[in-house]
């Protein structure tokens, strides 16, 4: 086919119906096999390291009576919540969701609450540092009170649970290609 030949502008080579049978969605079986082997190991190692690190921090907070630092304590609790969901995701990554529909919702709720709360606690800590530096002159102001930290933590957990509840209302266990999956399902109703 010569590009400069104006008479050879046919597209019949592109629309050959016989060749369409060779095309379709990629199966990517090698990627699935790799993820079935890699993700459970990765989640297990992450879970073990997270349990060790966060329990160590929790023990140090209690031992040295540094519970006045409320935000780091709640960040550790948020990380522990995330860690509690990892074994379930490890089993799910190795095969399919075997825990049933109620646990699909509960584990997704725990995962999402920990995700939202950890991000909001980092933002709260940044806000706290800003307020501490911006209002350093007044040590008795409302910005420098333990009540502020407690109120921040209550608000973070409240927003995290509300955000996760909205998310979890669409999560359910479904059968997909002969396997059970824990995924979002948006009804067309």
Task: State the CATH number of the domain containing residue 36.
Answer: 1.20.1070.10
What pLDDT, on the 0 to 100 scale, is given for residue 125?
87
| pTM to 2 decimal places | 0.76
Domain boundaries, position 90: 25-184
Tell me if 107 is assigned to some domain. yes
Q: How far is CA 121 from the centre of its chain?
A: 15
The number of domains in the chain is 1
For each successive 10 residues of the chain (189 residues), what is the average pLDDT?
A: 60 57 68 88 95 92 74 90 94 90 93 95 87 67 69 93 91 87 75
Take residue 168 and report the two structure tokens written for it: 């979890």
Report, in this order, helix, strand and coil percent for the chain, each rounded to 5. Answer: 65, 5, 25
Q: Is residue 2 part of a domain?
A: no
Residue 8 in domain: no
- Would residue 142 count as lying in a domain? yes
Q: Is residue 134 part of a domain?
A: yes
| DSSP per position, 103-159 | HHHHHHHHHHHHHHHHHHHHHHHHHHHHHHHHT-S-TTSGGG-HHHHHHHHHHHHHH
Two structure tokens written together for 19:
């060749």
Q: Is residue 19 part of a domain?
A: no
Task: Let me know if residue 121 belongs to a domain.
Answer: yes
Beta bridge partners of residue 173, listed in sequence order: 182
Residue 154 maps to a domain: yes
Confidence (pLDDT) at 151: 87
């Amino acid at each position: 086919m010569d590009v400069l030949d104006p008479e050879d502008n046919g597209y019949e080579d592109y629309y050959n119906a016989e060749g369409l049978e060779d095309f379709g969605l990629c199966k990517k079986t090698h990627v699935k096999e790799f993820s079935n082997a890699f993700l459970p190991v990765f989640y297990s190692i992450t879970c073990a390291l997270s349990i060790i690190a966060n329990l160590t921090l929790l023990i140090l907070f209690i031992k040295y009576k540094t519970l006045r630092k409320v935000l780091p304590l709640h960040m550790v609790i948020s990380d522990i919540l995330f860690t509690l969901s990892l074994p379930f995701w490890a089993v799910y990554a190795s095969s399919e969701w075997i825990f049933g529909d109620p646990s699909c919702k509960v584990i997704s709720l725990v995962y999402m609450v920990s995700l939202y709360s950890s991000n909001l606690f980092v933002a709260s800590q940044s806000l706290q540092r800003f307020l501490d530096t911006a209002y350093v002159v007044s040590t008795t102001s409302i910005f420098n009170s333990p009540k502020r930290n407690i109120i921040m933590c209550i608000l973070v957990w409240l927003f995290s649970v509300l955000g996760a509840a909205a998310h979890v209302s669409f999560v359910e266990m479904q059968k997909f290609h002969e396997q059970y999956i824990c995924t979002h399902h948006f009804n067309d109703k």
